[in-house]
Structure 1
């Protein structure tokens, strides 16, 4: 089953969200406009707006209220991707040139800032003060996560705690907030909001761990970038972290290759193969499954609405996705 099959019934409202995204990022400045549209047209799963829409099914569903949080959440995610690409010096995202690559670092940073600003501007349409507080807290955490990602580049001495805290800020928080704000926007009971938040957090952790696994096991065509890109840019993710901790020879080999000149394709293939053999990928799948099981448990607390099954199927998809 494809991810889009799971929420096919939401296609009409997703189309409205997509149209609102395009309208919101429209800019008077020609470069900002071109760069923002380039990012939007690069596509994406739109998983955060989908979580908002599904969470809205647990209250008095109203697309006009829901899009006031769904659109800003996706814009915040998009802006963070632009900044990530600058940090990682990434040339491709989803198989297309990044803003940094197509223009330059300055245009990319200002485009990211512009999209962040448009997200904040749109939230002013929401009359619930709690929405603003939750969203601003999440943005602070994400910014800290970006700074930590820069700090931890080429840091070969980091541990599991550092990694988990980083992906919490990088990915899990925004997914958790998407689930909670979708419910909050339509006045769902507070206990439902909090269960959805915890579900989103655990799914978000699993989602990022799976992303990090795919960087080692998926093809360049599936990833839209070369396999092993994260490690090549000094980002030590869970598969490498586990393998290096348990194999000192492999650890020394990886450090020497990555800290040297740009690794050749053959060298990266050898590193990826060694990480797999050392059990890094298997361990990471086990860790992802732990978070998914926690997410399933949170769903048990929710009313038996059709959206509950969609949440379950999305979590299941995340655990088995190939790209």
Structure 2
């Protein structure tokens, strides 16, 4: 490995914050003695491919400049390699950075954290989730919340969080449970009705919603949060508690743990790190120490 650091940049993240973050972050890294390269792509696939090329070429570290979507691309490039990952969090959600106590929307401070960690320990090992061929660092969502994502992505207007608030209201009007088949650690499958099933490598998604509050990325386990069939009034009553993680005490909510999970539900798309994975079924696995993180 070299002293080169590669910045994987989403220029659109945080309403242009990704592009604005490059200058301050690069200055800090150069002052710390590093050579800085910037990787962009015309689309996610192109950016991911260029990030993998940088990792294969032996870059000293890959820093994701953007939100959780950019982090997801970076994880796909560094997972299972010795190249450490840093995060310059300037997106709208930033759940991965928040979980690890990294600076938010302060590119200079985030770059200093990465440079210090690279010198001090070279990256601390952390678990990742793997769903099919895709890696994720936060939460895999399915059911009601993935339907909200589906609908929100289809709406041309408005932009930002309000778009997903409108999608949430529309999906509430069509609320119904899904028929799930869940298999954990090779045990016999359980067939249940559920409003949603979330699988957490980390605790939070959606900009601070602690859907799997007990999830840790250093225990080799996935945390499952299963919300059973419930009324609109119940779901609306439980929803605010997700930000504190206290929803898990509600009678409609179950929490489970496993190293491997197979999820199946007809007509349900899964999302991980806020990005679409595709329709269920999916095999999901915890992979211990799959990434080295530049954290304090």
TM-score relative to the length of structure 2: 0.30
Name the one with the larger strand percent. 2
| Larger helix fraction of residues | 1
TM-score, normalised relative to structure 1: 0.28
